[in-house]
Amino acid sequence: MRMALHLPTIPDEVAGDIAAIGRFAAGRGWVPATSGNFSRRLDSGHIAITRSGIDKGAIGARDLIAVALDAPLPAGVSAETPLHVARYRADARIGAIVHVHSVAATVLSRADAARGYVELDGFEMHKALAGITTHESTVRLPIFANDQDTHALAERIEAALGGEPSVPGYLLAGHGLYAWGATMDDARRHLEGVEFLLTCALEERRLRR
């Protein structure tokens, strides 16, 4: 007989953090319809993540669910939860993960899918990313082919990232951006910084036509 899985209660602070990042992303048009998902670590073995099919600009406590990193996923979570779980399991320093569907991330992830990355060169905004201290740098944001089998997709992504990627984010082709950080504030900074860089890259390509 299977033992009941006891999951931690989601603290108000965590729920507030996730609701705030949802409003932030929604205000910029990055989570249209019910797209996107957000999560925060609760402890070494659990995370809180948004439920499937909710308005990410109006997240309430009932829209979140606790998930164990080493157990089957409960009903109601986003189909992309395995991508979050895999990142948390791969790096204990990650405290929050955000996923959005902006136009720039979606378009560029398709345009550069064959190359396998979007190259961003010489922008001051590079310094928004952890570990980068100068604009005199080149950022290569990885792109992975999308797959409805998100368990298999998560395994492929983690194998390719190798445990400690140089950029705190990646793209799914035709889908959007995943970004993370040690705290939700860090994840938000990485999200906003990368989205700015992608928007600049997309605009530069338009100007070259």
Helix (H) or strand (E) holding 42, with range, is strand 37-43
Q: Is the pLDDT of residue 201 over 70?
A: yes
Q: Is the pLDDT of residue 3 over 70?
A: no
Question: In whole angstroms, how far apart are CA 111 and each of 99, 116, 119, 142, 202?
Answer: 19, 10, 12, 13, 10
pLDDT in tens, 11-56: 999 999 999 999 999 999 999 999 999 999 999 999 999 999 999 9
pLDDT tier at 159, thresholds 50, 70, 90: very high
DSSP class per residue in 67-118: EETTSPPPTTB-TTHHHHHHHHHH-TT--EEEEE--HHHHHHHHHTTTTTEE
Residue 129: the pLDDT is 92
Q: What is the mean pLDDT of the chain?
A: 93
Residue 2: the pLDDT is 45
Q: Is the pLDDT of residue 202 over 70?
A: yes
Residue 102: the pLDDT is 97
Q: Is the pLDDT of residue 1 over 70?
A: no
> For residue 127, what are the contacts with CB-CB under 8 A and spacing of at least 6?
133, 134, 135
pLDDT in tens, 168-193: 999 999 999 999 999 999 999 999 99
Q: Is the pLDDT of residue 4 over 70?
A: no
CATH of domain 12-208: 3.40.225.10
Residue 193 C-alpha from the chain's centroid: 13
Q: Is the pLDDT of residue 8 over 90?
A: no
pTM: 0.94
